[in-house]
Structure 1
Amino acid sequence: MNEPTVYIVDDDPDMRDSLGWLLETVGLRALAYASAEEFARDYREDGPACLVLDVRMPGWSGLDLFEDLRAEGSSMPVLFITAHADVPMAVRAMKSGAAEFLEKPFNGQVLLEKIQRALRESAARLERRAARECLRARFDSLTDKEREVLALVRAGMPNKEIAARLDLTPRAVEMRRSGMMRKLGADSLPELLRIALTFEETTDLVAPSERPEDAPGRAADAARNPRGDA
């Protein structure tokens, strides 16, 4: 994972310099921008990060930038800073998911603590995303036949019942199940079920055309392959 980055967007050059110096004192990488438009042109999600964002700026406001980032799917934590805080502005920012809303002048140590927490949250979120993508790749590697067996295993069927349901030999079911478990990195049935349950909301384990009740050609397939080999 790349080095954590703190982005600073503030039209006040003194504030940008002050925040940059503060972050450097604790060894944090900081990139500063004078406007929301400048940041938007340059920003690319690349490792753990958080954004220290001024609310009121000429042109595109901090709130506009923040809401645009959320609309694009960014989950980067945002800490708002402003010299002109008001209740409606704070409510709008927090309802949109802002991590913090601080009024200038603020305590530098308090800001650092909030930034460190935001970076930890960002790193944890990226790790969870990477784990989900890894699981998705594993599920995508399953064949349709393996997905079919997995769906029945998740339904609580033993191998003999699965074999009867799919017109297969028990040996064929064992082979599909073994391949499925190897690809998913499962060493046991409980581990297999845990992986499947973890991913069930984001992965369609069985394509509709492969469900036993939706497969009109299964009898013909069985006639061509009476032994039910995988």
Structure 2
Amino acid sequence: MEDNSSTNNFFLNIKKTINNNLKLIVIILSVLFLLFLLLQTYNYFIKQSTLKNSISFYKAISIDREDESNKILSVLNNSNDFYAILSQLEIIDKNIKNKNYELVNELYKNLLNDNNLENIYKTAIASVAAYNFINIQLINPSTNYIDDINNYIEIIDDELLNYNGIKLELKFLKIITEVENNNIQYNNYNQAIELYDIIMSNENVSSIIKERVNKIHEYQLYK
């Protein structure tokens, strides 16, 4: 009898252990399933939010009413996706057209000071900012954005080989801006001639950039 009782107790203990383990497994699986559902829900809302921001952005750049467009862009500017950057760049373009250059400069600086922005995006934005302000400086000689132009050029990452030629071209254009704004004799400006030679002999500089630089060089020599 004692043997039977011991055997029964043994099986009861095993059954109890299995039941307890099953309960634990069910709880774990339930928690994992719940986490999976939460993740799927989160991804759904992220996709919906991105889609919504995409629609809003293209609406902002296509409507004629500037006040409504600016309102949409301001909302997108506070989002946490790529459309926040696009909206800021669109706001910058609008202010360039409206000749709000001080605001444009501030907006570019705020954008480039964003620590979450990847280096390649900073380099691309800094390149555009430098080109824009070189053009602004040439059109408006009374302004003084040379230091800002230098700062934008310095942000361009030397490790990004595709931007080496762009960086050199921007440095050359910045010198040309100084030549034009200060009535400097290009032929006697050693810094300009030396940089021209560096660009033309550099294998990392594209033929398109070399052609543009060469045309400016020849114009400055024979104007």
Q: TM-score, normalised by structure 1?
A: 0.26
Structure with max Cα Rg: 2
More helix by share: 2
More strand by percentage = 1
- Normalised TM-score (structure 2): 0.26
